Structure 1
Amino acid sequence: MTSTERISWDAASARRAERQFPAGPAAAGTAAGPVTGGLADVVAAMRGAHAQVLSAAEVSIGVRAAGGVTRTHVRAALWEERSLVKTYGPRGTVHLLPARELPLWSAALTAVPAGPSPFPPDVRLTDEQAGQVVTAIGDALDGRYLTLDELTEEVVARTGPWAGDRVMPAFQDMWPRWRQVMHRAGWAGTLCFGPNRGRKATYTRPAWAGAGSGAGAREAQDGLFTFVSRYLHAYGPATPAHFARWLAAPAGWTTGLFRDMAAAGAVEEVDFEGTPAWVAAGDTEFPDGPARGVRLLPYFDAYVIAGQPRERLFPGEAYRRALAGGQAGNHPVLLVDGVVAGVWHQRRRGRRTTVTVEPLVRLTARQRRELGEQAERVGEVLEATAEMVLGKVEVGPHA
């Protein structure tokens, strides 16, 4: 395929599905054997699993993995084997990332220029104060697991009372000033989540993952190029605007980054449904046919967050029903042949869970069978027995 050939939505959708495993399960060990490498491979292919709600990340990973993987395996990879890290990823939101890739993520995320602060001037941290806080967080967490209250005490002791001023409005409460850059510590590789202590989250420094050591200008540029190439491998063809939206990066900076990569021969321009877009250099092979199959994907699954253009991924009624103000991820989605074709919700009671699916298209007998298998798989991942019901999903976003 040459760069002047047109790449169709069907071809792009099919390749994305293959590479991120909604098209079929990835090898990830067995239920009885080690899953360290396999689950990290799945998360790497997704470019991170959104984990603000951990159960959603467990489903994202579990439905892609082979061998009866359940949430227990995901938690073992996270807390015991440490092949996964729970930290702040794209858009400053909580993600599971492969531990081996944390230095690459750290280099890329810290290179993104900071946008304007959403806080009033009297609430903001200066650049110098922000740097002090990030350093203090790393020092406080080195070899320790601290709750948020304990970490606040340590940060204030290492910086000054200004860091502890409760001036940040958040969830009908006021947070201490230092927390506005907490995600930056995650990006810098000086903070990640630890196992809960009772009902309280803990934080530690992920020294085992090797992030946060810094790099020279050339190494930083090479890391950025690698980072973008891996994103394009998963979600290409894509435009700089698509990448900027996924990462919450400034459009001008992203455009310049793609221009530099093109000049270096690291990306190739292609025609994606009549729009100029990019793939990683040499990565121009696409399937002949469209994606096939039925899948259930949870809240904020990477496939629907990063998949662009959004109006093609959410065609027709799906755009209204499965998005919230144009934002993807607020509803778990039914994927049919690579596009969103419904929403779903699961309600657990003890060891049983009811999976209610609201299709927006007429399903064939084969697709209904696949849907039943998918509901069973969701239950298996969550270590529950699933019952599937076809009907209206009455709950709203984030329910």
Structure 2
Amino acid sequence: MTDIGMLRLAAQRIAGPGMAGPGDAVRWLTAAQAQDHGGALASVALRTTSGSRAAVQAALDAGEIVKSWPMRGTLHLVAAEDLPWLVHLAAPRVVATTTARRAELGLDTKTIEYADQLARDALRGGIVLSRNELLAAWDAAGVSTVGQRGYSLLRHLAMTGVLCLGPGDQQVVLVEEWIPQPRVLDREEALGELALRYFRSHGPATGKDFTRWAHLVAADVRAGLAIARPDLASVTVDGVEYLMDPRTPEALAGCLRRARGVFLLPGFDEFILGYADRGAVVPAEYAARIVPGGNGVFQPTVVSAGRVVGTWKHAGRGARQTVAATPFESFTDAVATAIPRAYAALP
């Protein structure tokens, strides 16, 4: 029987073996959601051999990894050299669908072009500004950033390839200067590479999973799958086709004992967010427990043998901080015993 959850633990490098460094882990995933900065650092760190959040932050500060809105209009961590081609491929659809919102905010073409030039002037020459400093520069030049205008301008200029978030958390840089050696792919190459990398790092996954993750139109999904399919393995579960790296079953065999164990994952981890259908790892009747109230804020999860069995949070402060875990039903004795150990080992 194909165990999709366990195979995904291996494919995503959660169960092992870990990647050599943060840049390798992010390149393997291609893009990792990063709305919560601390959680994103932890998600990447737990996929590395060192398990160090500090190492992930150092990779950001050094420019090996960047944060931006390359797909779905959502913040992600990506390898710096991948950002330009990812933005060029996946962001235009989001830019087009947010035209009405920019109009509501009074951000017409003239205003956006002026803000673009102001940002380039302020950042040119390797200057790094905090998000608030950039917004202040726009305000000083007569481009109001009240309400959501500032955020919308920043995100728009990121999705059009001008800006990204570099060192620290909210530090803004010019893409053309911060990423001096971007990879250059034509559209067909980009579609094929994105599909191949997704299924290698997230498989077993379906075409619908890839469509939702990449937020591409159906024709682009078909084109990418056609290019990537010869290098992927196919397995059918309950009449549904899943694609994955042919080496994933062997990878799982090499870390099977670990995969059967307990993991505490941050709230926006790709193990949960990387799929349209999470039913293979999250029982449908408990899916709402991960996103209480459907507010888009995903809770940290307790994973046992490839299945989400509950949620967790930090309890207490400082030296007395510990874990408070809530089961969907009840934790087995083995899981209950493993949770504090998993918490102590968190990046």
- Asked if these proteins are the same fold (TM beyond 0.5), I'd say yes
CA–CA distance in 1 between the matches of 2:317 and 2:14?
Answer: 27
Which letter maps to 1:141?
A: L
The answer on whether the counterparts of 1:84 and 1:99 sit within 8 Å (CA) in structure 2 is yes
The alignment covers a number of residue pairs equal to 337
CA–CA distance in 1 between the matches of 2:309 and 2:194?
Answer: 31
The 3 A distance-change label for structure 1 pair 136 and 108 is farther
2:273 equivalent among 298, 305, 313? 305
1:72 equivalent among 46, 54, 61? 54
CA drift of 1:118 comes to 5.4
CA drift of 1:265 comes to 6.3
The answer on whether the counterparts of 1:86 and 1:95 sit within 8 Å (CA) in structure 2 is yes
In structure 2, the gaps of 5 or more residues are none
1:349 equivalent among 308, 317, 333? 317
**1:152 corresponds to 2:124:** no
The 3 A distance-change label for structure 1 pair 144 and 376 is same
**1:19 corresponds to 2:11:** yes
**1:307-337 CA deviation, whole Å, 9 max, x = no partner?**
3422232115432322335677521000111
What is aligned with 2:308?
A: 340
1:101 equivalent among 69, 82, 89? 82
Alignment of 1:147-186 (within 5 A): 147-152=130-135, 154-155=137-138, 161=142, 163-164=143-144, 166=146, 174-175=147-148, 177=149, 179-186=151-158
1:220 equivalent among 182, 187, 193? 187
2:164 equivalent among 192, 203, 209? 192
CA drift of 1:25 comes to 5.0
What is aligned with 2:64?
A: 83
CA drift of 1:203 comes to 1.3
Give the structure with the higher percent helix: 2
What is aligned with 1:230?
A: 197
Which letter maps to 2:219?
A: G
Q: Tell me how large the CA RMSD over aligned residues is.
A: 3.5
CA drift of 1:222 comes to 1.1
**1:204 corresponds to 2:173:** yes
**Which stretch of structure 1 is more off in the superposition, 315-324 or 124-133?**
124-133
CA drift of 1:276 comes to 4.9
**1:115 corresponds to 2:97:** yes
User: Secondary structure at the residue paired with 2:313?
Assistant: strand
The answer on whether the counterparts of 2:36 and 2:268 sit within 8 Å (CA) in structure 1 is no
The 3 A distance-change label for structure 1 pair 244 and 258 is closer
CA drift of 1:364 comes to 4.3
What is aligned with 2:37?
A: 54
Which letter maps to 1:259?
A: R
The answer on whether the counterparts of 1:107 and 1:223 sit within 8 Å (CA) in structure 2 is no
**1:295 corresponds to 2:263:** yes
The 3 A distance-change label for structure 1 pair 15 and 327 is farther
CA drift of 1:212 comes to 7.5
Q: TM-score, normalised by structure 2?
A: 0.80
User: Secondary structure at the residue paired with 1:232?
Assistant: helix
CA–CA distance in 1 between the matches of 2:115 and 2:345?
Answer: 43
**1:332-387 CA deviation, whole Å, 9 max, x = no partner?**
00011112110000135224422111123544444344323211112xx2xxxxxx
CA drift of 1:57 comes to 1.4
**1:144-178 CA deviation, whole Å, 9 max, x = no partner?**
12233542355578xx85x4364xxxxxxx24x46
**1:250-294 CA deviation, whole Å, 9 max, x = no partner?**
xxx5311122235556567956424554637xx445538885221
CA drift of 1:23 comes to 1.5
The answer on whether the counterparts of 1:269 and 1:276 sit within 8 Å (CA) in structure 2 is no
User: Secondary structure at the residue paired with 1:312?
Assistant: coil
**1:257 corresponds to 2:229:** no
CA drift of 1:187 comes to 3.4
The 3 A distance-change label for structure 1 pair 363 and 347 is closer
CA–CA distance in 2 between the matches of 1:257 and 1:26?
Answer: 32
**1:279 corresponds to 2:243:** yes
User: Secondary structure at the residue paired with 2:97?
Assistant: coil
CA drift of 1:245 comes to 2.5
